[in-house]
């Protein structure tokens, strides 16, 4: 049984592509921070989050935990093509974690 741990955003930003995107929470939050939600970029410190360890050398995300992926983007954006293979590799390295792609 897995339980929800956290969110992993290897990249941020998105492209509005349908009426359902009109009230996107990510765009709203970015506007509140004076950022442009349409700017798509690879996150610096967050990209390798599933591989990060604490001071004792244990993974911050424990085996069996569930992590939501790309809550501030779309995992399959064309703009993320250059980074996706590395993200898949991280998921393979942490096959003990449940990666939940929306």
pLDDT tens-digit map of 32-47 = 888 887 788 899 888 9
pTM, full prediction: 0.84
Instruction: Grade residue 1 by pLDDT with cuts at 50, 70 and 90.
Output: low
Q: Given this model, what pLDDT does residue 73 score?
A: 87
C-alpha to C-alpha distance for 4 and 68, rounded to whole angstroms: 8
Q: Which domain holds residue 18?
A: 4-101
- Count how many domains the chain has: 1
The tokens for 1 are: 């049984």
């Amino acid at each position: 049984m897995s339980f929800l741990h956290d969110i992993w955003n290897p990249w941020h930003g998105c492209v509005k592509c349908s009426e359902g995107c009109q009230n996107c929470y990510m765009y709203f939050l970015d506007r509140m921070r004076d950022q442009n939600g349409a700017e798509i970029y690879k996150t610096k410190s967050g990209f390798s989050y599933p591989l990060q360890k604490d001071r004792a050398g244990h993974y911050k995300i424990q085996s069996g935990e569930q992590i939501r992926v790309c809550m501030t983007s779309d995992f399959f954006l064309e703009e993320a093509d250059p980074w996706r293979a590395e993200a898949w590799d991280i998921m393979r390295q942490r096959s003990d974690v449940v990666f939940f792609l929306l």
